[in-house]
Amino acid sequence: MATYEVFLKKDGKDEYRHAGALDAANDELALVMARETYIRRAEGNRVWVVNREHLLMAGDDFISPNADKPHRHHDGAAVAARRKAAREADSSEAGNDE
């Protein structure tokens, strides 16, 4: 017996989503079990079934070095402020014309 993780996707824009896990004796039975356990009512058009042993997993310890990278973001605040000021200047000019 091995534990498998099941991922489902409906046709269209959605991404694959984790549905849950199951125990099965082999890969072939895992697919059948996935259908009978998780896809009885058109919950997906495609399925991925992955033996848990083959999943590579990591958590915060591994990911956290990337948490402190402000240079990978830009809030655009200064540009937004300039645009806003320009819009306000425009509309007050328009107001003066009346």
Partner 1 sequence: MGRTWQDMEAFEAFLDDGGIVEVDDHMPDEYRHAVFTFIEMHANSEYMGGLTERDWIPKTPGLRHKMSVLAKTQDEIGHGHLLYMVAADMGIKTRTEMIEDLMAGRSRFHNVFHYKAETWGDQVAIAFLVDAAALASQQAVFKNCSYGPYRRILKRIISEEGFHMRLGEDRMRRIAEGTQIQKDIFQGALDRWFWPALQLFGPDSKPDDKLLRWHIKSERNEVLRDKWVQKFVPMMHSYGFVVPASDLAYDEDTKKWDVGPIDWEPLKKTLAQGGPDSARRIREARDNWEATAWARRCLDGAAV
- The residues of the shown chain that bind partner 1, judged by CB under 8 A, are 1-3, 18-27, 29, 36-38, 40-41, 43, 57-62
Task: Write down how long the chain is.
Answer: 98
Based on CB atoms, which residue is closest to partner 1, 60 or 98? 60
Query: In whole angstroms, what is the distance from residue 98 CA to residue 78 CA?
Result: 31
What is the β-pairing status of strands 17-24 and 46-51?
unpaired
For the bound state, the minimum distance from the C-beta of residue 20 to partner 1, rounded and expressed in Å, comes to 6
For the bound state, the minimum distance from the C-beta of residue 8 to partner 1, rounded and expressed in Å, comes to 10
Whole-number Cα distances in Å, 48 to 26, 30, 84: 15, 10, 48
Based on CB atoms, which residue is closest to partner 1, 52 or 84? 52
For the bound state, the minimum distance from the C-beta of residue 21 to partner 1, rounded and expressed in Å, comes to 5
